[in-house]
Structure 1
């Protein structure tokens, strides 16, 4: 399949990439259905970092450099020890209403973790979800509720604001981060439509103007997000003005991040769709790259 000449293919032949992170001069990725975390250099050389049997997703790092990775299906956060072994860092099963999903880790090592809220892949009825905070010692606290599929979590460079995309909510939300890691009240960072009725997944998806999935901040305070229903990545300003849109054509876009040596490379996770059975059976996921004018900032 030919792709738009503005894109380059960094790596392909995987199942479904999520949670791209630029760290240590490499792009780190979770591949859902081969159950592995990999990292890739800019020449496309791949190194496996870890196997996560229950499906990896969000990633971040503790202040001492140890990797944290979400284990989706058993609703845990795992920690990679210096010898490479994965151990349980936190168990979210008491607070997560569905698969654990995206995560951002702050400078103090506190992880903010979202979840689906319901059984998305099994055809469950949509429900709102909570957001969990995992402290560096592994203790778990619920810090926000009533979110419409929290996803694409980011922390501003000053460490004071958490920004969370709500994939099924036609909005991006923001929270003040207090000194103890607790969050202030939810506020709109941007909205572009009403909250959908939580009747069934097709109805919800049909009510979305855009569905912010994996996302990243830039140095001007804008958010790049992958629109999970729009085959595009969007650069949006606070308040909702769309500053730039890049179509991914026939491929869906499900996450993105900014990185590279100068922070101006946009890495986009693409695949034909997000349906579990189709992605498990194929090797059609790829990372596309393109250059943008404003570098990345904040976390992840």
Structure 2
């Protein structure tokens, strides 16, 4: 029987983009414009970041350990404290491969303002700064993961309720588009060492799913008016699933929910649940 979620950290604005890095859970605190790193004991460090967007940005690291952020631009944080703009391309989520290629995703419509959705895209930023689109017609692109061998990319298509997989070509392009799993409610996702993905469901719970859609495990979250916007695997004393949540009234329009968040409500929380399989290497 799965353990009940344990509260690790609360009084956050809107935690998103959970990542396991250097022994801690890292995530974006949207609206607060902070990157947060937290230990297994709940000791948190907060870093202010100059992202010119309150909502819709993400973090990852270059192969040599420098922090990247999306948002209005793709930025890299240097060891001397300076910030380098790698691309003027705004984006939602990102993931980085072992060669330093950066995959960005986004959609060109005003989500927060309630504008009618438009199909989104995935773009590749190579280490020399070149940008090219490598996939389109993504139904609200969200979380992405790369397999440790760098050969497969999986993305959340939130509005389609599915995970979609691509083969990664030697030049970084994407091919062989296919459904990884469907009938979900995917947002920020994570990959484990056995190749399964933890992902959200349409009823605001989380499942561990294999390629092809087989549900391997399910966790029913005991939250009301609270949605799991991102999940991340930590490798503390035991493998741990971290669930990043915030108040979200499922029957209310998106702009109304976002207005409550930007008006100063600090309903964001991080919960932890022991699991069997650690995060994928990388």
- TM-score, normalization: structure 2? 0.89
Q: Which residue of 1 aligns with 2:270?
A: 287
> What is the distance in 1 between the residues matched to 2:281 and 2:117?
31
**Deviations 1:208-252 (Å, cap 9, x if unpaired)?**
xx320000111222110134x422111111111222221222121
Q: Which runs of 4+ in 1 moved over 4 A?
A: none
The alpha carbon displacement at 1:81 in A equals: 0.7
In structure 2, stretches of 5+ residues that fail to align are: 249-253
Contact 2:145 2:191 (8 Å CA) reproduced: yes
Q: Is the aligned partner of 1:187 residue 2:169?
A: no
Alignment map for 1:40-55 (pairs within 5 Å):
40-55=38-53
Contact 2:238 2:274 (8 Å CA) reproduced: no
> What is the distance in 2 between the residues matched to 1:236 and 1:64?
31
Contact 2:235 2:278 (8 Å CA) reproduced: no
Alignment map for 1:76-225 (pairs within 5 Å):
76-93=73-90, 100-192=91-183, 210-225=184-199
> What is the distance in 1 between the residues matched to 2:17 and 2:127?
20
> What is the distance in 1 between the residues matched to 2:237 and 2:88?
36
Question: 2:17 pairs with 16, 19, 22, which one?
Answer: 19
In structure 1, stretches of 5+ residues that fail to align are: 94-99, 193-209
The alpha carbon displacement at 1:87 in A equals: 2.5
**Deviations 1:124-163 (Å, cap 9, x if unpaired)?**
0111101111112322110100011111100112110001
Q: Is the aligned partner of 1:241 residue 2:197?
A: no
Aligned residues: 269
Q: Which residue of 2 aligns with 1:29?
A: 27
The alpha carbon displacement at 1:117 in A equals: 3.7
RMSD, aligned CA: 1.9
The alpha carbon displacement at 1:50 in A equals: 3.4
> What is the distance in 2 between the residues matched to 1:84 and 1:290?
35
Q: Is the aligned partner of 1:10 residue 2:8?
A: yes
- TM-score, normalization: structure 1? 0.84
Q: Which residue of 1 aligns with 2:231?
A: 256
